[in-house]
Chain A
Protein backbone atom coordinates (compact mmCIF):
# COMPACT_ATOMS: atom_id res chain seq x y z
CA UNK A 1 0.00 0.00 0.00
CA UNK A 2 2.89 2.29 0.75
CA UNK A 3 3.98 1.98 -2.89
CA UNK A 4 0.53 3.02 -4.04
CA UNK A 5 0.61 6.05 -1.72
CA UNK A 6 4.06 6.99 -3.00
CA UNK A 7 2.88 6.70 -6.56
CA UNK A 8 -0.22 8.81 -5.93
CA UNK A 9 1.71 11.50 -4.02
CA UNK A 10 4.32 11.92 -6.74
CA UNK A 11 1.68 11.69 -9.43
CA UNK A 12 0.03 14.75 -7.85
CA UNK A 13 3.38 16.50 -7.55
CA UNK A 14 4.04 15.86 -11.23
CA UNK A 15 0.54 16.91 -12.22
CA UNK A 16 0.35 20.18 -10.32
CA UNK A 17 3.90 21.53 -10.54
CA UNK A 18 3.78 23.96 -13.45
CA UNK A 19 6.85 26.02 -14.22
CA UNK A 20 9.83 23.91 -13.29
CA UNK A 21 11.67 22.55 -10.31
CA UNK A 22 11.13 25.42 -7.93
CA UNK A 23 7.38 25.15 -8.43
CA UNK A 24 7.58 21.54 -7.28
CA UNK A 25 9.25 22.43 -3.96
CA UNK A 26 6.07 23.55 -2.14
CA UNK A 27 4.14 20.58 -3.55
CA UNK A 28 6.79 18.09 -2.47
CA UNK A 29 6.84 19.69 0.97
CA UNK A 30 3.05 19.48 1.14
CA UNK A 31 2.96 15.79 0.17
CA UNK A 32 5.92 14.35 2.06
CA UNK A 33 5.89 16.53 5.22
CA UNK A 34 2.26 17.64 5.70
CA UNK A 35 0.01 15.04 4.07
CA UNK A 36 2.21 12.02 4.83
CA UNK A 37 4.56 11.70 7.81
CA UNK A 38 7.40 10.55 5.56
CA UNK A 39 9.95 13.26 6.34
CA UNK A 40 10.50 15.89 9.00
CA UNK A 41 10.92 19.48 7.85
CA UNK A 42 14.63 19.12 8.64
CA UNK A 43 14.99 16.09 6.37
CA UNK A 44 12.99 17.88 3.71
CA UNK A 45 15.39 20.84 3.87
CA UNK A 46 18.28 18.36 3.51
CA UNK A 47 16.67 16.80 0.46
CA UNK A 48 16.13 20.14 -1.20
CA UNK A 49 19.78 20.94 -0.57
CA UNK A 50 20.93 17.59 -1.99
CA UNK A 51 18.55 17.86 -4.93
CA UNK A 52 20.01 21.26 -5.78
CA UNK A 53 23.60 20.05 -5.40
CA UNK A 54 23.22 17.01 -7.65
CA UNK A 55 22.54 17.12 -11.38
CA UNK A 56 19.12 16.38 -12.81
CA UNK A 57 15.62 17.76 -12.26
CA UNK A 58 14.80 18.58 -8.62
CA UNK A 59 11.52 16.64 -8.70
CA UNK A 60 13.20 13.47 -9.92
CA UNK A 61 15.94 13.79 -7.32
CA UNK A 62 13.37 14.24 -4.56
CA UNK A 63 11.29 11.34 -5.89
CA UNK A 64 14.25 8.98 -5.83
CA UNK A 65 15.39 10.14 -2.39
CA UNK A 66 11.98 9.96 -0.72
CA UNK A 67 11.08 6.72 -2.50
CA UNK A 68 14.28 4.97 -1.44
CA UNK A 69 13.85 6.05 2.18
CA UNK A 70 10.24 4.90 2.34
CA UNK A 71 10.36 1.68 0.35
CA UNK A 72 13.86 1.02 -1.00
CA UNK A 73 14.68 0.75 -4.70
CA UNK A 74 11.09 -0.18 -5.71
CA UNK A 75 9.98 2.97 -3.87
CA UNK A 76 12.45 5.08 -5.84
CA UNK A 77 11.26 3.58 -9.13
CA UNK A 78 7.57 3.99 -8.28
CA UNK A 79 7.95 7.59 -7.07
CA UNK A 80 9.94 8.54 -10.17
CA UNK A 81 7.43 6.81 -12.42
CA UNK A 82 4.55 8.57 -10.65
CA UNK A 83 6.13 11.98 -11.05
CA UNK A 84 6.66 11.67 -14.81
CA UNK A 85 3.41 9.95 -15.83
CA UNK A 86 1.36 13.22 -15.91
CA UNK A 87 4.10 14.81 -18.04
CA UNK A 88 4.15 11.89 -20.43
CA UNK A 89 0.41 11.98 -20.99
CA UNK A 90 -0.13 15.76 -21.04
CA UNK A 91 2.97 16.75 -22.99
CA UNK A 92 2.52 14.06 -25.62
CA UNK A 93 -1.06 15.25 -26.09
CA UNK A 94 0.09 18.87 -26.31
CA UNK A 95 2.83 17.93 -28.77
CA UNK A 96 0.25 16.25 -30.94
CA UNK A 97 -2.08 19.26 -30.64
CA UNK A 98 0.79 21.66 -31.35
CA UNK A 99 1.70 19.97 -34.58
CA UNK A 100 -1.97 19.84 -35.50
CA UNK A 101 -3.16 23.34 -34.51
CA UNK A 102 -0.07 25.39 -33.48
CA UNK A 103 -1.12 27.66 -30.62
CA UNK A 104 -3.94 27.38 -28.10
CA UNK A 105 -5.22 30.67 -26.68
CA UNK A 106 -7.26 29.16 -23.83
CA UNK A 107 -4.23 27.17 -22.68
CA UNK A 108 -2.07 30.30 -22.78
CA UNK A 109 -4.66 32.29 -20.84
CA UNK A 110 -4.81 29.67 -18.12
CA UNK A 111 -1.04 29.49 -17.89
CA UNK A 112 -0.76 33.27 -17.64
CA UNK A 113 -2.90 33.36 -14.52
CA UNK A 114 -1.28 30.25 -13.09
CA UNK A 115 2.18 31.80 -13.17
CA UNK A 116 1.58 34.43 -10.41
CA UNK A 117 0.22 31.70 -8.12
CA UNK A 118 3.30 29.59 -8.80
CA UNK A 119 5.51 32.53 -7.81
CA UNK A 120 3.54 32.93 -4.58
CA UNK A 121 3.94 29.26 -3.73
CA UNK A 122 7.66 29.30 -4.39
CA UNK A 123 7.89 32.35 -2.12
CA UNK A 124 6.03 30.46 0.59
CA UNK A 125 8.36 27.45 0.30
CA UNK A 126 11.34 29.82 0.37
CA UNK A 127 9.97 31.29 3.59
CA UNK A 128 9.80 27.81 5.17
CA UNK A 129 13.41 27.14 4.21
CA UNK A 130 14.36 30.56 5.57
CA UNK A 131 12.86 29.93 9.02
CA UNK A 132 14.40 26.44 8.91
CA UNK A 133 17.86 27.91 8.34
CA UNK A 134 17.50 30.79 10.79
CA UNK A 135 15.34 29.31 13.58
CA UNK A 136 15.57 25.55 12.96
CA UNK A 137 11.80 25.25 12.48
CA UNK A 138 9.18 25.86 9.78
CA UNK A 139 7.34 28.79 11.27
CA UNK A 140 8.44 32.02 12.84
CA UNK A 141 8.87 31.46 16.60
CA UNK A 142 7.20 33.88 19.02
CA UNK A 143 10.66 35.12 19.93
CA UNK A 144 11.85 36.60 16.63
CA UNK A 145 15.17 37.68 18.12
CA UNK A 146 16.27 34.08 18.68
CA UNK A 147 17.56 34.06 15.08
CA UNK A 148 20.91 32.51 14.23
CA UNK A 149 22.98 35.56 13.17
CA UNK A 150 25.42 33.49 11.09
CA UNK A 151 22.59 32.01 9.02
CA UNK A 152 21.04 35.44 8.53
CA UNK A 153 24.34 36.87 7.34
CA UNK A 154 24.98 33.94 4.98
CA UNK A 155 21.52 34.24 3.43
CA UNK A 156 21.85 38.00 3.04
CA UNK A 157 25.35 37.67 1.54
CA UNK A 158 24.27 34.87 -0.81
CA UNK A 159 21.25 36.86 -1.92
CA UNK A 160 23.34 39.99 -2.49
CA UNK A 161 25.93 38.11 -4.57
CA UNK A 162 23.21 36.45 -6.66
CA UNK A 163 21.45 39.74 -7.35
CA UNK A 164 24.56 41.75 -7.98
CA UNK A 165 26.79 39.44 -10.00
CA UNK A 166 24.40 36.77 -11.28
CA UNK A 167 26.71 33.94 -10.24
CA UNK A 168 25.51 30.38 -10.66
CA UNK A 169 23.45 29.01 -7.76
CA UNK A 170 25.81 26.06 -7.19
CA UNK A 171 28.78 28.36 -6.67
CA UNK A 172 26.87 30.54 -4.19
CA UNK A 173 25.63 27.50 -2.28
CA UNK A 174 29.09 25.99 -2.15
CA UNK A 175 30.52 29.24 -0.80
CA UNK A 176 27.78 29.39 1.85
CA UNK A 177 28.61 25.83 2.93
CA UNK A 178 32.33 26.58 3.11
CA UNK A 179 31.70 29.85 4.95
CA UNK A 180 29.51 28.07 7.52
CA UNK A 181 32.28 25.54 8.20
CA UNK A 182 34.81 28.32 8.60
CA UNK A 183 32.67 30.55 10.83
CA UNK A 184 31.39 27.82 13.14
CA UNK A 185 34.85 26.32 13.58
CA UNK A 186 36.21 29.72 14.62
CA UNK A 187 33.32 30.49 17.01
Chain B
Protein backbone atom coordinates (compact mmCIF):
# COMPACT_ATOMS: atom_id res chain seq x y z
CA UNK B 1 0.00 0.00 0.00
CA UNK B 2 1.20 3.42 -0.88
CA UNK B 3 0.63 6.20 1.56
CA UNK B 4 -0.88 9.51 0.53
CA UNK B 5 2.39 11.36 0.40
CA UNK B 6 3.93 8.93 -2.06
CA UNK B 7 0.91 9.16 -4.32
CA UNK B 8 1.07 12.94 -4.23
CA UNK B 9 4.77 12.85 -5.03
CA UNK B 10 4.11 10.56 -7.96
CA UNK B 11 1.65 13.00 -9.52
CA UNK B 12 3.96 15.93 -8.86
CA UNK B 13 6.85 14.04 -10.41
CA UNK B 14 4.76 13.13 -13.47
CA UNK B 15 3.69 16.73 -13.89
CA UNK B 16 7.16 18.23 -13.46
CA UNK B 17 8.80 15.65 -15.73
CA UNK B 18 6.42 16.24 -18.62
CA UNK B 19 6.33 20.01 -18.06
CA UNK B 20 10.12 20.24 -18.27
CA UNK B 21 10.31 17.96 -21.31
CA UNK B 22 7.74 20.04 -23.15
CA UNK B 23 9.25 23.38 -22.11
CA UNK B 24 12.80 22.63 -23.14
CA UNK B 25 12.55 20.27 -26.09
CA UNK B 26 12.79 21.76 -29.54
CA UNK B 27 11.82 19.78 -32.58
CA UNK B 28 8.67 17.99 -31.54
CA UNK B 29 7.77 14.36 -31.01
CA UNK B 30 10.72 12.58 -32.54
CA UNK B 31 13.01 14.42 -30.13
CA UNK B 32 10.85 14.39 -27.01
CA UNK B 33 10.11 10.67 -27.09
CA UNK B 34 13.72 9.47 -26.62
CA UNK B 35 14.07 12.00 -23.77
CA UNK B 36 10.93 10.59 -22.16
CA UNK B 37 12.44 7.14 -22.35
CA UNK B 38 15.56 8.46 -20.64
CA UNK B 39 13.53 10.06 -17.86
CA UNK B 40 10.96 7.34 -17.14
CA UNK B 41 12.98 4.21 -17.94
CA UNK B 42 16.58 5.11 -17.11
CA UNK B 43 16.21 7.72 -14.38
CA UNK B 44 12.95 6.93 -12.58
CA UNK B 45 12.74 3.23 -13.51
CA UNK B 46 8.94 3.35 -13.62
CA UNK B 47 8.59 1.60 -16.98
CA UNK B 48 10.74 -1.17 -18.42
CA UNK B 49 12.55 -0.75 -21.71
CA UNK B 50 10.56 -3.11 -23.97
CA UNK B 51 7.28 -1.76 -22.71
CA UNK B 52 8.47 1.79 -23.39
CA UNK B 53 9.30 0.84 -26.99
CA UNK B 54 5.75 -0.45 -27.43
CA UNK B 55 4.33 2.72 -25.91
CA UNK B 56 6.47 4.80 -28.27
CA UNK B 57 5.21 2.80 -31.26
CA UNK B 58 1.62 3.42 -30.16
CA UNK B 59 2.27 7.12 -29.63
CA UNK B 60 3.88 7.51 -33.05
CA UNK B 61 1.14 5.68 -34.87
CA UNK B 62 -1.85 7.27 -33.14
CA UNK B 63 -3.39 10.51 -34.32
CA UNK B 64 -2.36 13.74 -32.63
CA UNK B 65 0.93 15.21 -31.45
CA UNK B 66 3.43 12.46 -30.58
CA UNK B 67 4.57 14.22 -27.42
CA UNK B 68 0.97 14.43 -26.16
CA UNK B 69 0.31 10.80 -27.04
CA UNK B 70 3.48 9.60 -25.35
CA UNK B 71 2.73 11.58 -22.22
CA UNK B 72 -0.80 10.14 -22.07
CA UNK B 73 0.61 6.62 -22.31
CA UNK B 74 3.26 7.19 -19.68
CA UNK B 75 0.80 8.85 -17.31
CA UNK B 76 -1.74 6.06 -17.85
CA UNK B 77 0.89 3.40 -17.25
CA UNK B 78 2.15 4.97 -14.04
CA UNK B 79 -1.09 6.17 -12.47
CA UNK B 80 -4.11 5.31 -14.64
CA UNK B 81 -6.46 7.91 -16.11
CA UNK B 82 -5.70 10.56 -13.43
CA UNK B 83 -2.01 10.10 -14.27
CA UNK B 84 -2.74 10.63 -17.96
CA UNK B 85 -4.61 13.85 -17.17
CA UNK B 86 -1.69 15.12 -15.11
CA UNK B 87 0.88 14.39 -17.84
CA UNK B 88 -1.27 15.92 -20.60
CA UNK B 89 -1.62 19.04 -18.52
CA UNK B 90 2.15 19.15 -18.00
CA UNK B 91 2.79 18.77 -21.73
CA UNK B 92 0.23 21.32 -22.90
CA UNK B 93 1.01 24.12 -20.45
CA UNK B 94 4.46 25.23 -21.73
CA UNK B 95 3.44 25.82 -25.38
CA UNK B 96 0.33 27.70 -24.19
CA UNK B 97 2.43 30.04 -22.06
CA UNK B 98 5.37 30.45 -24.43
CA UNK B 99 3.35 31.01 -27.61
CA UNK B 100 0.93 33.38 -25.88
CA UNK B 101 3.89 35.56 -24.95
CA UNK B 102 5.45 35.27 -28.42
CA UNK B 103 2.20 36.20 -30.13
CA UNK B 104 1.94 39.36 -28.01
CA UNK B 105 5.11 40.62 -29.63
CA UNK B 106 4.51 39.09 -33.04
CA UNK B 107 2.96 42.10 -34.78
CA UNK B 108 5.53 44.65 -33.58
CA UNK B 109 8.21 42.11 -34.29
CA UNK B 110 6.94 41.34 -37.77
CA UNK B 111 6.76 44.98 -38.89
CA UNK B 112 10.48 45.39 -38.29
CA UNK B 113 12.24 45.03 -41.69
CA UNK B 114 15.25 43.23 -40.21
CA UNK B 115 12.99 40.70 -38.53
CA UNK B 116 11.11 40.05 -41.73
CA UNK B 117 14.39 39.37 -43.56
CA UNK B 118 15.47 37.02 -40.78
CA UNK B 119 12.06 35.30 -40.93
CA UNK B 120 12.55 34.81 -44.64
CA UNK B 121 15.89 33.13 -43.99
CA UNK B 122 14.32 30.99 -41.28
CA UNK B 123 11.58 29.97 -43.69
CA UNK B 124 14.27 28.78 -46.10
CA UNK B 125 15.69 26.73 -43.22
CA UNK B 126 12.26 25.25 -42.39
CA UNK B 127 11.79 24.33 -46.05
CA UNK B 128 15.13 22.56 -46.10
CA UNK B 129 14.26 20.73 -42.86
CA UNK B 130 10.93 19.56 -44.26
CA UNK B 131 12.52 18.34 -47.49
CA UNK B 132 15.11 16.49 -45.44
CA UNK B 133 12.34 14.86 -43.37
CA UNK B 134 10.45 13.93 -46.54
CA UNK B 135 13.51 12.24 -48.06
CA UNK B 136 14.14 10.25 -44.88
CA UNK B 137 10.52 9.14 -44.56
CA UNK B 138 10.10 8.40 -48.28
CA UNK B 139 13.18 6.19 -48.32
CA UNK B 140 11.79 4.28 -45.31
CA UNK B 141 8.58 3.70 -47.26
CA UNK B 142 10.43 2.59 -50.39
CA UNK B 143 12.64 0.25 -48.33
CA UNK B 144 9.54 -1.83 -47.60
CA UNK B 145 9.57 -2.73 -51.33
CA UNK B 146 5.81 -2.94 -51.66
CA UNK B 147 4.11 -1.57 -54.74
CA UNK B 148 1.01 -0.69 -52.70
CA UNK B 149 2.93 1.72 -50.45
CA UNK B 150 4.79 3.40 -53.32
CA UNK B 151 1.53 3.78 -55.23
CA UNK B 152 -0.22 5.28 -52.19
CA UNK B 153 2.61 7.76 -51.78
CA UNK B 154 2.57 8.94 -55.42
CA UNK B 155 -1.21 9.02 -55.74
CA UNK B 156 -1.65 10.88 -52.46
CA UNK B 157 0.88 13.50 -53.52
CA UNK B 158 -0.87 14.00 -56.86
CA UNK B 159 -4.29 14.09 -55.19
CA UNK B 160 -3.31 16.70 -52.62
CA UNK B 161 -0.94 18.81 -54.69
CA UNK B 162 -2.41 18.82 -58.18
CA UNK B 163 -6.06 17.79 -57.82
CA UNK B 164 -6.74 19.72 -54.62
CA UNK B 165 -8.54 16.78 -52.99
CA UNK B 166 -9.23 17.24 -49.29
CA UNK B 167 -6.59 15.64 -47.07
CA UNK B 168 -9.17 14.01 -44.82
CA UNK B 169 -10.63 12.13 -47.81
CA UNK B 170 -7.16 10.89 -48.78
CA UNK B 171 -6.55 9.68 -45.22
CA UNK B 172 -9.88 7.88 -45.04
CA UNK B 173 -9.20 6.15 -48.40
CA UNK B 174 -5.80 5.02 -47.13
CA UNK B 175 -7.35 3.64 -43.94
CA UNK B 176 -9.78 1.65 -46.11
CA UNK B 177 -6.91 0.40 -48.31
CA UNK B 178 -4.85 -0.62 -45.28
CA UNK B 179 -7.77 -2.46 -43.67
CA UNK B 180 -8.58 -4.29 -46.93
CA UNK B 181 -4.90 -5.18 -47.41
CA UNK B 182 -4.61 -6.63 -43.89
CA UNK B 183 -7.83 -8.61 -44.16
CA UNK B 184 -6.82 -10.03 -47.57
CA UNK B 185 -3.40 -11.01 -46.22
CA UNK B 186 -5.00 -12.68 -43.22
CA UNK B 187 -7.37 -14.60 -45.48
CA UNK B 188 -4.50 -15.69 -47.73
CA UNK B 189 -2.37 -16.92 -44.82
CA UNK B 190 -5.43 -18.66 -43.35
CA UNK B 191 -5.95 -20.55 -46.62
CA UNK B 192 -2.27 -21.49 -46.75
CA UNK B 193 -2.61 -23.21 -43.41
CA UNK B 194 -5.44 -25.36 -44.71
Contact = CB atoms under 8 A, between A and B. Distances in A.
Interface residues of A, number: 104
Main secondary structure of the interface of B (DSSP, over half): helix
Given A57-B29, A127-B161, A50 B58 contact: no
Interface in A52-108: 52-61, 64-65, 68-69, 73, 76-77, 80, 83-84, 86-88, 90-92, 94-96, 98, 102, 105-108
Interface in B105-140: 106, 110, 114, 117-135, 137-138, 140
B6 interface: no
B160 A122 contact: no
B63 A14 contact: yes
B181 to A, nearest CB: 6
Interface in B162-190: 166-168, 170-171, 174-175, 177-179, 181-183, 185-186
Interface string B42-62: 000000000000110011111
Interface string A1-40: 0000000000010111111111011110010000000000
Nearest to B137: A119
B123 A45 contact: yes
Interface of A: 12, 14-22, 24-27, 30, 45-46, 48-61, 64-65, 68-69, 73, 76-77, 80, 83-84, 86-88, 90-92, 94-96, 98, 102, 105-127, 129-130, 132-133, 151, 154-159, 161-163, 168-170, 172-181, 184-185
A120 B157 contact: yes
Contacts of A30: 166-167
A121 B160 contact: yes
A123 B77 contact: no
B167 A173 contact: no
A135 B141 CA distance: 31
Contacts of A52: 26-27, 126, 129
Contact of A21 (B28, B88, B92, B132): B28
Contacts of B102: 50, 54, 65
